[in-house]
Structure formats: structure tokens, C-alpha cells
Chain A
């Protein structure tokens, strides 16, 4: 079966760095996405990785290792507005997105 695992909840301090991990087992691989979702809102796109390595975009970076079925989202200089759920999703061989349950990130002052 297809499976995406990520921690349920994480807590971090404003100004700090946090890393959210995601492991996956899917039928084929056409890329891994990270989305941010604030409560009561639809997900918004953060990053896409299809090759191994680190993709940096401002305060957010995403890493992928296809051989290990592993990715992480790194958030630097945390701000209170970063409090949200972070969803890891893998596009399988049928170009369907397989979603993780999401990681709720709580930022404390």
C-alpha cells in the first residue's frame, strides 16, 4: 500500500529553526510537495522536489532523498504566522497526490 508518514505535532520557538520530516512509500514517484495549511483555509503550495538534494526558497527549504524515501521541510527564523499544518504529499505514477496526515506546527513566543 501507499503510505506517507510525518509527525502529528511539533512545537518551536519564534526565531528558531524547525525541521519537519516526511517518509513515504508509494507506487511510483513523480515528485514530493510540501503545502502549508492554516486552520479553515485551503492548502497553499510551498515547495516541490523531484531530484535528490536541497531546494531553498527564502526562509523555507525542502530536502529529498529518493533512495531513502525521505524528505524534510526546514523553516528558519520562525515567525508566529508560521503556525499552521504542513502537509507532505507525493505524486505517484498515476500523477495522483498521496497525502500525509499533516504536521501541526505550534510557534511559541
Chain B
């Protein structure tokens, strides 16, 4: 079975621009979570979606938004990009909403110039 897939692999944007990152979960997984990993740090939780509804939000500004589609794929949007948004963005999927093992995709490397 295919694992979690993310696109694009790499992305370069300039300050003030907007970006959309995409994630397809493992087949049968209904929960998708997004994490930001800044170089040299552990991943930080951004959002969790389950059955197309937001189930959790981390300590990120409103410039960050996400949604989940009927096929359980998800998009993460970041508006008004800042240099500090440069990071590896990881998507993870799980079967259940709560306390379930999460499986990660390869990530999207975003560079903001």
C-alpha cells in the first residue's frame, strides 16, 4: 500500500506570497495532521483534521489554514509568508481521531526568500 504522499517536494517563495501544500493520507486513514519542522528542531503541531472537521490547532498565527476534502486528502495554506516560515512541512495520517499511531509523509521543504 502507498504511504502518505506530499506535494510538492520543494518550494521556493518570496516574502508576502501565499503557498498551498498538499497531502494524501494512507488509504483508509481518516485523520490528517500537519507539523512544521524548523531546521534543528523537533516537529511542531499545526493542525489536525478528522472527517473534514478541524479537531486541533497548534500555536500558529491565522496566516496558517487548512482543510480536508471528502477523499480525506488535505491542503495546508500559508498566507503572507515570512522568512521564519521556512521549514519542512510534514503531513501525518492515522485511522482514528484520538491517540492513534501517526504515519508521516516525506515532507515539503519550503524556503522563503
Binding between chains A and B? no
